Amino acid sequence: MTATSPTVRSIWRGGRGPLLVGLIVLAVAVGGVLLAGIGGGGRSLDPGDSTLAGSSGLAELLRHEGVRVERVTSADAAARAATAGSLLLVTDLSFLRQDEVDRLAGLPGDRLLIGPGAMHPSLAPGLAPLSGTEDTARVRSREPECALPAAVQAGSAYMGGYSLRGPPGAIGCYPADGRPTLVSYQRDGRTITAVGDGQFLTNLRLTEDGNAALGASLAGTRPTLVWLTAPETLPELPGPEGKSFTELMPAGVSWAVIQLVIAVALVAFWRGRRLGPVVAERLPVVVRAAETVEGRGRLYRARRARDRAAAALRAGALHRLMPRLGLVADSGHDAIITAIAVRTGQDAGQVGTALYGGPPADDAGLVALAAYLDTLERQVRDS
Amino acid sequence: MALTGRAGLLAALAAVAVLLAPRPGLALAGAGLVLLAFILTDLALAGGVRPLRFERGGDRLVRLGQTATVELVATNPGRRRVRGVLRDAWPPSAGAAPRQLVLDVPPGESRRLAVTLSPTRRGDRESVKVTVRSLGPLGVAARQGSHEVPWSVRVLPPFLSRKHLPARLARLRELEGRHPALVRGQGTEFDSLREYVYGDDVRSIDWRATARRHDVVVRTWRPERDRRLLIVLDTGRTSAGRVGTAPVPPAGTPEHAMPPGWPRLDWSMDAALLLAALAARAGDRVDFLAYDRAVRAWVSGASRTELLSSLVNVMAPIEAELVEADSAGMVAAVLARAKRRCLVVVLSDLNAASLEEGLLPLLPQLSSRHLVLLAAVSDPRVAAMAAGRGTAERVYDAAAAERLMAGRRAITARLRRHGVEVVDAPPEDIAPALADAYLALKAAGRL
């Protein structure tokens, strides 16, 4: 038999080792993921998140101090929880619609706005609008340099980010380049505090400097803290009649897409299956014999070796001229120059310079020399 | 197994059906099952590839530039018809065509298929595998399998210079005195006595024999016969450099991708073949040695009729080795093989550096016992570069080319002082130039 295709048995024999290794790798990966628990990547400044980006540490600290921490993820929930004696902590507004933000602005109680995502004119009236990245300062440990009791008590804290400018009468703390990154002021009978960056509240930074004290002092001013954070899953954007895009799509489309994927896979297998092996061949080396000469030419050019180039050209020209002049190689220079001058009618001095002179001063001189030698050869040949 | 475009097309059409169906999930499952059923049916009903039997026949030898035909007989001992495509896989430089053959073998029958090879370079080409894709009756899926059916084709040097042979043979006949114009043979070896005929040179009348025979008898002369000739081919690194334009360009090669000429080795082989053909006709014994750091090929004592075929046969697989040739070893190999005086023709390169270090110091050993002729292929591109003028770039190149040519002239002069004949010619002229040099030596009686 001449067949060389693998049989089912030979495929199994050859493939079981790699298959086993693959299965082990898969099992380890799945097991590792299951053991580690399905934790999302940290949700920034979430009081219920215990990763380094979350703020569960601060929430726990506040609960210890007797503050009721209400974690809310929507404007509705915030409105239900907020009272005149509560503090609304906002870190992000990107998941709220404009009417929801306006509703938040109408809620009673104090406000603590953390980070640029929470700065909204309706939530922080009078605060200067932020513009561009030139207002961003590096986040690092900074001194309070102000009279705000919470800041004085806490001392240095991990602050920076957006620099702020409050309305007249506002207290600005933790200045970066002379502009405060924490602003606190009174407006309509409530205290509004805005902070340029929220990193000092995260579990990562809470234990450094006076971060914990500052966070607790800022967030723990009222018996109830309403902590607004982004929901885990954003609600789908409702289209007309309250239907989202996927709801409007016919049910068959997603199935048809699956079928198309199958079709593409089949076409890929059809095109990808080779008829027979790829044949490799040991090829001879391909190198032009003239390569060394070309390399030498480039070396001459790179080094501007006009002396050597001129000498080679002169030697070549003389070799071709000699037999035509009836001279031999060891004839004297003068005899050769005279013979050429007589044959061609050229000036003997010029011929002598061309054949035995110094190297040309520049590349143009070399080109001219080559052309002149050619002329001499042609005239001797034709005469 | 393999699928066809029909499988993909069916799956794509099924996507439309799934899109329009009232129960798309069911439609998807149904389409998948139908497709799977089609594929399985085809795989089950396709003719078996494994039991197929193959036999080969056809050409074993081909000259570079010509085409060989290799036949493949496929026998189907199974019960089902094998219908589909077959690929006979050869290395790319074998130039196998067509790429795919249509195969249709009814059960119990055989079919003869032919693959045409147009090789693009010398050497042995071995077939790799025969792969058959046997389609099922629905044309959706196919069985695929391979068989090993060994066959090798030896691609011989093309011997392009044989067009120069008739002219050289005519000159040879002239030398031997067998020319119709009754010119006296120019050789120095006494051949025979024959009767004088009108037109013979009176100086060749042998008076002593004439006195004995009562008839005017002339001596005839001919060049020496049964001389020895050893052709030494240098297969070292200098023989790998490509010169001239390849006379047998690979088919379908675009202009810009043309290989830069032929290796010196191939030109040298061409010249060696013309020289061997000529010397064999002249009645000389020709031996052949290919050497770089070891003996690559050795042909000795081939009869006149077999010489050329055995030469091309041993030359075919020789490739240039990318090592510096070992001249001492080469000289030793020549001295060990050539016991009697002979003409040693070394086909190498006039590379000043490698000759000065390699062959030159050893030449006295060789030239004291043998007549040495060194033939080298010059590079026409260097000559073209030497004529470059106009820009500084081209003048510098011209200077480099002049320098190389001066080096070749110097080494040629040194070799001639050592009593070595030198033939230095561009690739297209090296074979006739070498043949002429040989004829000149023969005419001068220096063999």
Contact A270 B3 (CB under 8 A): yes
Residue B120 within a domain:
yes
Residues in chain B within 8 Å Cβ distance of A293: 379, 381-382, 385, 397, 400-401, 404
Contact A273 B3 (CB under 8 A): yes
Domain count, chain B: 3
For residue A304, give the chain B residue with the closest CA: B396
Quick one: B63 and B143 in the same domain? yes
- Indicate the residue among B103, B136, B156 that finishes a domain: B156
Instruction: Give me the percent of chain B exceeding a pLDDT of 70.
Output: 94
Residue B267 CA neighbour count, 13 Å, CB half: 35
Asked if B74 and B86 touch (Cβ cutoff 8 Å), the reply is yes
Contact B21 A252 (CB under 8 A): yes
User: What's residue B179's pLDDT?
Assistant: 44
**Out of B18, B146, B261, closest to residue A255 by CB:** B18
Quick one: B82 and B135 in the same domain? yes
User: What's residue B298's pLDDT?
Assistant: 94
Residues forming beta bridges with residue A70, ordered by sequence position: A226
CA distances from B315 to A36, A108, A304, B296 (A): 70, 102, 45, 9
Measure B409 CA to nearest chain A CA, in Å. 10
Quick one: B21 and B62 in the same domain? no
Task: Please identify which residue in the block is written with the tokens 């014994």.
Answer: B285
Q: Which positions ≥6 away from B301 have C-beta within 8 Å?
A: B285, B287
Interface-testing mutation among B395, B405, B409, with chain A (most A C-beta atoms within 10 A): B395
Asked if A260 and B32 touch (Cβ cutoff 8 Å), the reply is no
Asked if B12 and A263 touch (Cβ cutoff 8 Å), the reply is yes
Quick one: B96 and B20 in the same domain? no
Contact B390 A290 (CB under 8 A): no
Asked if A120 and A101 touch (Cβ cutoff 8 Å), the reply is yes
User: What's residue A293's pLDDT?
Assistant: 92
Q: Which H or E run contains B216?
A: none
**Out of A255, A267, A298, closest to residue B24 by CB:** A255
Residue B164 within a domain:
no
- Residue type present at position A130: L
Q: Which positions ≥6 away from A80 have C-beta within 8 Å?
A: A72
> Given CA atoms A364, A365, A366, A371 in this order, what sign does their dihedral have?
positive
Residues forming beta bridges with residue A263, ordered by sequence position: none
- Residue type present at position B437: A
Quick one: B125 and B94 in the same domain? yes
- Indicate the residue among B131, B156, B181 that finishes a domain: B156
Residues in chain A within 8 Å Cβ distance of B412: none
User: What's residue B431's pLDDT?
Assistant: 95
Contact B242 A286 (CB under 8 A): yes
CATH number of the CATH domain containing B266 = 3.40.50.410
Contact A256 B405 (CB under 8 A): no
Residue B325 within a domain:
yes
**Could you tell me the pLDDT band of residue A33, with boundaries at 50, 70 and 90?**
confident
Measure B432 CA to nearest chain A CA, in Å. 22
Q: Does A307 touch chain B (CB under 8 A)?
A: no
Give the integer Cα–Cα distance in Å for B225 and B283. Answer: 5
State yes or no: pLDDT of A130 exceeds 70.
no
Q: Within chain B, which residues score under 50 in pLDDT? A: 179-183
Q: Which positions ≥6 away from A221 have C-beta within 8 Å?
A: A87, A110, A191
Quick one: B292 and B389 in the same domain? yes
For chain A, give every domain's residue range.
56-228, 301-382
**Out of B11, B87, B389, closest to residue A266 by CB:** B11
Quick one: B236 and B107 in the same domain? no
Residue B320 within a domain:
yes
Residues in chain A within 8 Å Cβ distance of B406: 312, 315-316, 319
User: What's residue A135's pLDDT?
Assistant: 62
Give the integer Cα–Cα distance in Å for A182 and A137. Answer: 12
State yes or no: pLDDT of A1 exceeds 60.
no
Residue B38 within a domain:
yes
User: What's residue B223's pLDDT?
Assistant: 66
User: What's residue A239's pLDDT?
Assistant: 52
For B353, the token pair is: 């550096």
Residue B284 CB neighbour total at 10 angstroms: 22
Compute the mean pLDDT over every residue in chain A, rounded to the nearest whole number: 85
User: B162-215 pLDDT, tens per residue?
Assistant: 999 999 998 888 777 654 434 455 555 666 777 887 877 788 788 888 888 888
- Residue type present at position A54: G
Which structural domain range is residue B80 located in?
53-156
CA distances from B21 to A128, A366, B9, B14 (A): 59, 84, 18, 10
Chain A residues 6-35 with CB within 8 Å of chain B? none
User: What's residue B183's pLDDT?
Assistant: 45
For residue B388, give the chain A residue with the closest CA: A370
**Out of B20, B49, B242, closest to residue A287 by CB:** B242
- Indicate the residue among B156, B184, B211 that finishes a domain: B156
User: What's residue B73's pLDDT?
Assistant: 95
Closest CA to A109 of A189, A201, A2, A200: A189
Q: Is A64 exposed, middle or buried (0-12, 13-18, 19+ CB in 10 A)?
A: exposed
Instruction: Give me the percent of chain A exceeding a pLDDT of 90.
Output: 24
State yes or no: pLDDT of A337 exceeds 50.
yes
Residues in chain A within 8 Å Cβ distance of B35: 266
First-to-last C-alpha distance (Å) of chain A: 81
User: What's residue B446's pLDDT?
Assistant: 81
Measure A14 CA to nearest chain B CA, in Å. 18
> Given CA atoms B47, B53, B59, B60 in this order, what sign does their dihedral have?
positive
Instruction: Count how many pairs of residues, chain A against chain B, have C-beta atoms within 8 Å.
Output: 216
Quick one: B428 and B347 in the same domain? yes
Quick one: B120 and B262 in the same domain? no
Compute CA A359 distance to the chain's CA centroid, rounded to the nearest angstrom: 56
**Could you tell me the pLDDT band of residue A86, with boundaries at 50, 70 and 90?**
confident
Radius of gyration from C-alpha coordinates of chain B: 32
User: What's residue B182's pLDDT?
Assistant: 42
Compute CA A20 distance to the chain's CA centroid, rounded to the nearest angstrom: 38
CATH number of the CATH domain containing B129 = 2.60.40.10
Residues in chain A within 8 Å Cβ distance of B381: 288-290, 293
Residues in chain B within 8 Å Cβ distance of A2: 53-54, 147-149
Contact B91 A3 (CB under 8 A): no
Quick one: B19 and B105 in the same domain? no
Give me the phi and psi of B320, to 5 degrees please. Answer: -70, 130
User: A213-260 pLDDT, tens per residue?
Assistant: 888 888 888 888 888 888 877 665 555 566 667 777 777 888 899 999
Contact A2 B5 (CB under 8 A): no
Q: Is A198 exposed, middle or buried (0-12, 13-18, 19+ CB in 10 A)?
A: buried
DSSP one-letter string for A341-379 = HHHH---HHHHHHHHHS---SSHHHHHHHHHHHHHHHHH
Contact A289 B379 (CB under 8 A): yes
Contact B260 A286 (CB under 8 A): yes
Quick one: B10 and B134 in the same domain? no
Quick one: B420 and B439 in the same domain? yes
Task: Please identify which residue in the block is written with the tokens 């020895």.
Answer: B228
Q: Does A309 touch chain B (CB under 8 A)?
A: yes
Measure B64 CA to nearest chain A CA, in Å. 16
Contact A279 B409 (CB under 8 A): no
Measure A298 CA to nearest chain B CA, in Å. 7
Q: Mean pLDDT throughout A326-349? A: 87
3-state DSSP call for residue B441?
helix
Give the integer Cα–Cα distance in Å for A98 and A371. Answer: 84
Measure A285 CA to nearest chain B CA, in Å. 7
Measure B250 CA to nearest chain A CA, in Å. 14
